[in-house]
C-alpha cells in the first residue's frame, strides 16, 4: 500500500515530467480528472516505461489499498504499471499482449496477496502453487517488457535495490547466461558482467535484460571503452 512519502514522491515526479504524457491525449485527460493526484502521478510513471509509439494506447494499472486497479483499458495490447517486487523497489513496466496474459497476472495477484497481509514466504509458496496448478499461465511465445523509464529502482543479483538505466526485457526465450557468454562474476552494480544478462534464470518468467542507455554499459565491471584503431586506407 502506498504511504504518504511515496505519494509525495510520485506527485513530485509527475510534476518533473511536466505532465507531457497526458497533455497530448484526450483519453488521458479524461482519466486524469477521475483519479487522485497520486494516482495520476503513478500513471505517468508507469507510462514512462513505454516507447512513444505504444504510450497512447497502453492500458494502465495503479496500486491501491487492496492491490492494483485498472485505470485505463488497453487499445493496443500493451499494459503499464509500476511494480514493487520488494520494499524500496520501483519498477515501471510496459508489457506486450503475451506479457499482459502471463506476467501481468502474476504481478496483480502478488500485489493482492501482499495487500492482504501475506508474508514473503507465504507469497513464494502461493506463487509456486499457482504455477503448478496453471492459475499463472505459462509463456507461450517470446515477448517484450519495456522498462524505458529513467526512474528504475530494481533488485540486483545481491538482493539490493539499486538504480538501473532504461532497458528492454525479453521473456520466453529459454536463454541462459551461459548461452550469452555471461559468467557468474558480478559488476559494481550487483548484476552479471556483460552487455546483456538473464534475470530469473531457470524460472517460468526468466528475462533477458538489454540496457539501452546510449554509450553506456551500466552493469559492466569496467566502464572504460577501447578506442577504435586508426587504419590507413
pLDDT tens string, the chain, 233 residues long: the values are 445 455 455 545 444 443 334 333 333 333 445 678 899 999 999 999 999 999 999 999 999 999 999 999 999 999 999 999 888 999 999 999 999 999 999 999 999 999 999 999 999 999 999 999 989 999 999 999 999 999 999 999 999 999 999 999 999 999 999 999 999 999 999 999 999 999 999 888 899 999 996 544 344 444 444 344 343 33
**β-pair partners for 144:** 170
Cβ neighbours of 226 (radius 10 Å): 5
Residue bearing cell 538501473: 164
Inter-CA distances, 33 with 65, 72, 178, Å:
20, 13, 49
Which pLDDT belongs to residue 18?
Answer: 36
Which pLDDT belongs to residue 68?
Answer: 95
Q: What are phi and psi of 13, to 5 degrees?
A: -65, -40
* pTM attached to this predicted model: 0.77
Which pLDDT belongs to residue 203?
Answer: 85
Burial per residue of 10-44, b for 16 or more beta-carbon CB atoms within 10 angstroms, e otherwise: bbebbeebeeebbeebeebeebbeebeebbbbbbb
Find, among 97, 90, 81, 168, the residue nearest to 137 by Cα. 97
Which pLDDT belongs to residue 29?
Answer: 34
List, in order, residues 6 or more apart from 8 with CB less than 8 Å away: none
Quick check: 197 and 177 in contact, CB under 8 A? yes
115 burial type by CB count under 10 A (0-12 exposed, 13-18 middle, 19+ buried):
middle
Helix (H) or strand (E) holding 30: helix 26-32
Amino acid at each position: 500500500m502506498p504511504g504518504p512519502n511515496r505519494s509525495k514522491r510520485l506527485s513530485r515526479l509527475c510534476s518533473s515530467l511536466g505532465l507531457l504524457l497526458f497533455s497530448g491525449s484526450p483519453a488521458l485527460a479524461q482519466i486524469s480528472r477521475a483519479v487522485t493526484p497520486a494516482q495520476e502521478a503513478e500513471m505517468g510513471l508507469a507510462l514512462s516505461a513505454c516507447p512513444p509509439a505504444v504510450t497512447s494506447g497502453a492500458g494502465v494499472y495503479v496500486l491501491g489499498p487492496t492491490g492494483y486497479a485498472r485505470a485505463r483499458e488497453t487499445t493496443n495490447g500493451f499494459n503499464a504499471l509500476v511494480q514493487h517486487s520488494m520494499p524500496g523497489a520501483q519498477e515501471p513496466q510496459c508489457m506486450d499482449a503475451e506479457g499482459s496474459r502471463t506476467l501481468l497476472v502474476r504481478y496483480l495477484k502478488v500485489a493482492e496477496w501482499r495487500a492482504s497481509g501475506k508474508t514473503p514466504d507465504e507469497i513464494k509458496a502461493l506463487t509456486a502453487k499457482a504455477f503448478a496448478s496453471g492459475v499463472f499461465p505459462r509463456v507461450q511465445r517470446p515477448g517484450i517488457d519495456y522498462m524505458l523509464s529513467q526512474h528504475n529502482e530494481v533488485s540486483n543479483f545481491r538482493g539490493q535495490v539499486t538504480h538501473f538505466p532504461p532497458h528492454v526485457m525479453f521473456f520466453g526465450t529459454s536463454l541462459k547466461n551461459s548461452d550469452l557468454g555471461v559468467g557468474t562474476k558480478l559488476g559494481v552494480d550487483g548484476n552479471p558482467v556483460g552487455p546483456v544478462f538473464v534475470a530469473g534464470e531457470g524460472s517460468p518468467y526468466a528475462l533477458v535484460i538489454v540496457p539501452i542507455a546510449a554509450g553506456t554499459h551500466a552493469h559492466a565491471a569496467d566502464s572504460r571503452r577501447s578506442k577504435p584503431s586508426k587504419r590507413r586506407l
